[in-house]
Structure formats: structure tokens, C-alpha cells
């Protein structure tokens, strides 16, 4: 009995060393040669820049699915035909086919001369005079009958204010609402934002409830023309209406205008690719490792291969998944389940990860951490003299434990400089909000975003395989592997202990 007690500490130490050696052995299976083999396929010209919904993206999805299946990951997505590696979802583009406003035979074009902040097509062109209702306050709507009318009003706020006043006008009975920002500069600012997020952009199909308050935004110049008067008279009437005097407002009569909105809707299917390494005694807790495998496609005949963005992260996911799968096959599987997911639609607005968190294949409350990898194969200008680094973003935003674990694992296995420059709350680049981890963080799931920073080839045809530093890519991937291994196997789960203010 005494001998057994004396030998127990030694046995415990040996088991710890063995466990450590096991993780190192599997981390060492992640090699620069294997990473390069994956990337030479993912960032090849044959995949045409992997634009969401296009042939090259489908080819990349098929390659990732094949790798997951070959390496022994299990499919996770329930379908009518059984479990699948693919989480499919629909996106749409909505292109303006025949949308205009005519004032006194002069024609104006949507997303150029005006903005239609809505997504529903008209059945036929509309013809109407507009009722001028000042700034659209509750008092204005009470003083001027607008039920069943098309109205024009001025709003000196931002998009949220315009949304609010348009909805109020609809609730008061207006049919169509035309809103004039108080300055040309504000109109141009709104025009720029709607051009970015408007016609032709990939998005999720519009739900019926989102069509409740569409409205037009027109410039002050166009507003005065429709009202068929002068700017000073408009401003005088607006000022008097603030004091309950509506006579000047009511006297201003608009010209008859004709307007039409029509969208051509194109449905584009795409898919996230998922595989799982089931855990053992803590299998109902999940770590999700993500990277986006889409890129921006082609510019004419030039291909944006996206070797770094995010072929590097996708290759890292494939190598890590294989390492975990081999560990599982050898009897060293993780205690917690690990999901490896490559997402589509990141370049179109984090759409794939957005779809996942709104249609999770396992409960979000069971997901304890997301490790997101987006561009880890290059060196940015700030680190040319010291390339042994990686940027970490978000590690301390929700969990101090995750942050500590991350630092300890790096010190133990990798010795990289962990650069938190872009983690600052006042970072003007706002990278924390610009990759797929953010959709998990919004759902109170602790995250780490691994990133090498931007470079001159970002979103250009020159982001190619030969510019990747594969030894550095190997080192960074092994760091992420060790971090995932620790989170998957430690006794205590990663928990949220930081209150994060929401931002967009």
C-alpha cells in the first residue's frame, strides 16, 4: 500500500508529460508542405477566386467536404437524406430593372438620383401628387390628413430617424413616403451607404415583415422641384409648422409625379461545410473552429485567388481537422466536441456565419468558444523586421479565462508575439466587427480572431500562393491547434465573465 501511494505522484507526472507529448505529436503533423498542398488547390486559377455562388466556390466546397470525409470527420447537418457535411442556404441578388421617378417629364434613376429604401416591386407605375407634411411629427400628422395619400416630408436625422418617421407616416395612413434629408451632403452620404448595401448585392431573401415601411429618399433639390416652389418658402413653412402654424405648409402644392420600382430577383444557393470530431466525457460542449473559404472572384479576366484571404485560414482548418481526427483514431480524442466549419459569403457581409448562428446545428448555448482564422499566411508592413507574430482580436472581449489560456498556450508551445493592436476598442479599422467570429460574439460566445494584418495584395489578383510564408503559416496553425486542444480537454469550460456593449 505504501509503495502504491509513493508511486502515485510519479505516475501522475508521467501521465501529464505523456498527454503533453501527445498534443505535440499531433501538432507536429501540421506541416508547411501539407498546408501548401491544400492552398495550391484552393487558390488555383481553376477555382476562379471562389466567389460566393459561383462555380469556383462550389469546387472549393467539394474539396473541403472530401477532405473532411477522407480524414474521418463526421457529418453534422441533418437533411432528409441523412447527415451531411453541407449546410445549404439561399441568397438573392435584387437588381433594379425598371425603377425611376419622373417630375415634369424629367426622369430620375434609383441609386443615382434618389434611393428607394425597400425591396418590393410595384405592380404598375404610380402617378400622384404628394402631400407636404413638414417634418413628420405626430402633430403634423394630426393637423394634415394623409390617410390614403402619398406624402413628402423633411428629416434632419440619420437612417434610423428616417426609418422611424417613415414607419410613423405609414401608421398614420400614408401609402408612399418621400423623405428629404435637410442637406445635399446628407443625401449623398445616404446614397453612398445604400449603393454599398443596395441593388445587386448578395443578401438573404427578404422576409414579408421587412417590407412594412419602404420609402424614398430624395435630395433637397429634387424635393423643391417636386414641391414646385423655392427653397426659402419651404424652409419658412417648415419653421412655422414647428410652432403649430400649418397654413404656409398646406399652401405648397406638389407637382404630379410618376414613379415605378421593379426588382429582378436572382436566387443563389451556397453552403457552409462542417465536420465534427465528437468528444468523450464532455461531448455536449462544443468548440467551433472557422475560416471563410469564399473570396471575391474575378475582375474581368483577372482572378483574385485569395491565397491569404482566406485560403490560408481554410488550409489551416483542414490541417487542424486532420490532426484532431488522427488523435481520435488513435484513442486520444478530445473531451469536448470540436466542429470545423468553413463558411461561405463572408466577403458579402459575413453571411455564412450569420446563417449558421441563426440556424445552428447544435445549440448556441452549448458552444463555448469560436476560434476564427482569417488571413494568417503573410507578414504585414508593421512586422517586416520581426515576422514572428500574429494579431489576436477579441480574446478578452467576453472571457478573461479564454484570454489567459491563449497567452499560456502561446508561451508554452509557440513563442509568437501576440499583437493586440487591433483589439483596442477604439481601433479605427474595426476588425473585431469584420470577420465571422463577430456573429458568434454577438451571441455571447467567447471568440479569438487570428489575423496577420492587411498588406498591399489585399483583395487584389496579386494575393497568390507564392507570397505565402508557409513556415509562419505552419507555426500560427500549430498555435491555434494547441489552443483548441487545451480548450477541448481542460477540466473547466470557457465561460463568459465580461459584459460586452453591443456595437455595429
Residue 237 C-alpha from the chain's centroid: 44
pLDDT value for 1: 36
Are 70 and 259 in contact by the 8 Å Cβ rule? The answer is: no
Tell me whether the CATH fold assigned to 26-93+267-489 matches the one assigned to 98-261: no
Identify the bridge partners of residue 336 per DSSP, sorted by sequence position.
282
Checking if the pLDDT of 501 tops 70, the result is: no
Residue 116, C-alpha cell as written in the block:
428607394
Give residue for cell 473559404: 293
Checking if the pLDDT of 43 tops 90, the result is: yes
The closest of 38, 481, 73 to 275, measured between CA atoms, is: 73
Q: Coil, helix or strand for 499? A: coil
The closest of 377, 376, 375, 374 to 468, measured between CA atoms, is: 377
Q: Mean pLDDT, to the nearest integer, of 256-278? A: 95
Give residue for cell 492587411: 454
Alpha-carbon radius of gyration of the chain: 28
**How many Cβ atoms from other residues are within 10 Å of residue 315's Cβ?**
31
Preceding peptide of 310 cis, ω within 30°: yes
Checking if the pLDDT of 174 tops 70, the result is: yes
* CA distance linking residue 286 with residue 493, whole number of Å: 10
Instruction: Give the list of residues 6+ apart from residue 145 with CB closer than 8 angstroms, or none.
Output: 131
Q: Which CATH number fits domain 98-261: 3.50.30.30, 3.20.20.140, 3.40.30.20, 3.10.20.30?
A: 3.50.30.30
Checking if the pLDDT of 18 tops 70, the result is: no
Q: pLDDT by residue (tens digit) across 234-252? A: 999 999 999 999 999 999 9
Residue 188, C-alpha cell as written in the block:
449623398
Give residue for cell 472571457: 399
Identify the bridge partners of residue 369 per DSSP, sorted by sequence position.
287
Residue 29, C-alpha cell as written in the block:
503533423
Give residue for cell 429604401: 117
Tell the burial category of 70 from Cβ atoms under 10 Å away from its Cβ (0-12, 13-18, 19+). exposed
Instruction: Give the list of residues 6+ apart from residue 7 with CB closer than 8 angstroms, or none.
Output: none
Are 433 and 502 in contact by the 8 Å Cβ rule? The answer is: no
Identify the bridge partners of residue 410 per DSSP, sorted by sequence position.
none
Are 179 and 155 in contact by the 8 Å Cβ rule? The answer is: yes
* Helices 184-197, 159-171: inter-axial angle, 10-degree rounding: 90
pLDDT value for 13: 41
Q: pLDDT by residue (tens digit) across 434-456? A: 999 999 999 999 999 999 999 99
Q: Coil, helix or strand for 360? A: coil
Structural domain boundaries in the chain: 26-93+267-489, 98-261
Q: Coil, helix or strand for 257? A: strand
* CA distance linking residue 407 with residue 329, whole number of Å: 29
Where residue 4 falls among pLDDT bands split at 50, 70, 90? very low
Residue 328, C-alpha cell as written in the block:
481520435
**Mean pLDDT value across the chain:** 92
Q: Coil, helix or strand for 297? A: coil
Question: Domain 26-93+267-489 adopts which CATH fold?
Answer: Aminopeptidase (3.40.630)
pLDDT value for 118: 81
Q: pLDDT by residue (tens digit) across 387-420? A: 999 999 999 999 999 999 999 999 999 999 999 9
Q: Mean pLDDT, to the nearest integer, of 191-209? A: 73
Preceding peptide of 18 cis, ω within 30°: no
The closest of 179, 172, 139, 175 to 158, measured between CA atoms, is: 179
The closest of 225, 305, 292 to 257, measured between CA atoms, is: 225
Where residue 211 falls among pLDDT bands split at 50, 70, 90? low
CA separation, residue 244 to residues 143, 186, 234, 248 (Å): 9, 27, 15, 11
Are 254 and 152 in contact by the 8 Å Cβ rule? The answer is: yes
pLDDT value for 188: 93
Torsion angles phi and psi, residue 369, rounded to 5: -160, 145
pLDDT value for 29: 98
Residue 336, C-alpha cell as written in the block:
469536448
CA separation, residue 23 to residues 138, 289, 437 (Å): 66, 17, 25
- What whole-number percentage of the chain has pLDDT above 70? 92
Amino acid at each position: 500500500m505504501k509503495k502504491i501511494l509513493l508511486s502515485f505522484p510519479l505516475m501522475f507526472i508521467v501521465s501529464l508529460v505523456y498527454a503533453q507529448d501527445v498534443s505535440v505529436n499531433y501538432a507536429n503533423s501540421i506541416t508547411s508542405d501539407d498546408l501548401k498542398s491544400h492552398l495550391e488547390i484552393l487558390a488555383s486559377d481553376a477555382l476562379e477566386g471562389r466567389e460566393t455562388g459561383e462555380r469556383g466556390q462550389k469546387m472549393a466546397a467539394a474539396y473541403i467536404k472530401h477532405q473532411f470525409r477522407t480524414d474521418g470527420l463526421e457529418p453534422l447537418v441533418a437533411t432528409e437524406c441523412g447527415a451531411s457535411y453541407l449546410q445549404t442556404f439561399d441568397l438573392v441578388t435584387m437588381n433594379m430593372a425598371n425603377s425611376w421617378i419622373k417630375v415634369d417629364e424629367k426622369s430620375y434613376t434609383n441609386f443615382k438620383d434618389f434611393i428607394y429604401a425597400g425591396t418590393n416591386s410595384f405592380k404598375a407605375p404610380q402617378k400622384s401628387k404628394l402631400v407636404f407634411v413638414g417634418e413628420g411629427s405626430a402633430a403634423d400628422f394630426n393637423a394634415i390628413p394623409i390617410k390614403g395619400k402619398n406624402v413628402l416630408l423633411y428629416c434632419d436625422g440619420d437612417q434610423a430617424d428616417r426609418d422611424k418617421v417613415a414607419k410613423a407616416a405609414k401608421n398614420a395612413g400614408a401609402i408612399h413616403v418621400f423623405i428629404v434629408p435637410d442637406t445635399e451632403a446628407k443625401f449623398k452620404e445616404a446614397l453612398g451607404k445604400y449603393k454599398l448595401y443596395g441593388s445587386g448585392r448578395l443578401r438573404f431573401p427578404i422576409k414579408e415583415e421587412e417590407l412594412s415601411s419602404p420609402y424614398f429618399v430624395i435630395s433637397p433639390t429634387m424635393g423643391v422641384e417636386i414641391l414646385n416652389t423655392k427653397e426659402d418658402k419651404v424652409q419658412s413653412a417648415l419653421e412655422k409648422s414647428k410652432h403649430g402654424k400649418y397654413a404656409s405648409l398646406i399652401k405648397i402644392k406638389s407637382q404630379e409625379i410618376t414613379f415605378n420600382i421593379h426588382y429582378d430577383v436572382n436566387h443563389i444557393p451556397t453552403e457552409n461545410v462542417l465536420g465534427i470530431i465528437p468528444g468523450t466525457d464532455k461531448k455536449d460542449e462544443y468548440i467551433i473552429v472557422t475560416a471563410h473559404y469564399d473570396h471575391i472572384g474575378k475582375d474581368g479576366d483577372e482572378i483574385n485567388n485569395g491565397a491569404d484571404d482566406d485560403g490560408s485560414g481554410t488550409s489551416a482548418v483542414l490541417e487542424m481537422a486532420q490532426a484532431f481526427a488522427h488523435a481520435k483514431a488513435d484513442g486520444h480524442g478530445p473531451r469536448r466536441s470540436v466542429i470545423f466549419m468553413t463558411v461561405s459569403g463572408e466577403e458579402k457581409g459575413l453571411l455564412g456565419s450569420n446563417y449558421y448562428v441563426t440556424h445552428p446545428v447544435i445549440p448556441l448555448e452549448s458552444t463555448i468558444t469560436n476560434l476564427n482564422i482569417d488571413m494568417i499566411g503573410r507578414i504585414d508592413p508593421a512586422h517586416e523586421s520581426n515576422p514572428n507574430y500574429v494579431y489576436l482580436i477579441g480574446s478578452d472581449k467576453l472571457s478573461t479565462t479564454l484570454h489567459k489560456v491563449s497567452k499560456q498556450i502561446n508561451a508554452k508551445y509557440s513563442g509568437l508575439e501576440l499583437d493586440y493592436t487591433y483589439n483596442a476598442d477604439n481601433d479605427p479599422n474595426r476588425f473585431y466587427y469584420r470577420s465571422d467570429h463577430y456573429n458568434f460574439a454577438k451571441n455571447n460566445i467567447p471568440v479569438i480572431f487570428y489575423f496577420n494584418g492587411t498588406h498591399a495584395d489585399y483583395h487584389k489578383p496579386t494575393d497568390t500562393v507564392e507570397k505565402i510564408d508557409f513556415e509562419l503559416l505552419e507555426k500560427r496553425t500549430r498555435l491555434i491547434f494547441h489552443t483548441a486542444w487545451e480548450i477541448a480537454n481542460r477540466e473547466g469550460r470557457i465561460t463568459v465573465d465580461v459584459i460586452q456593449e453591443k456595437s455595429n
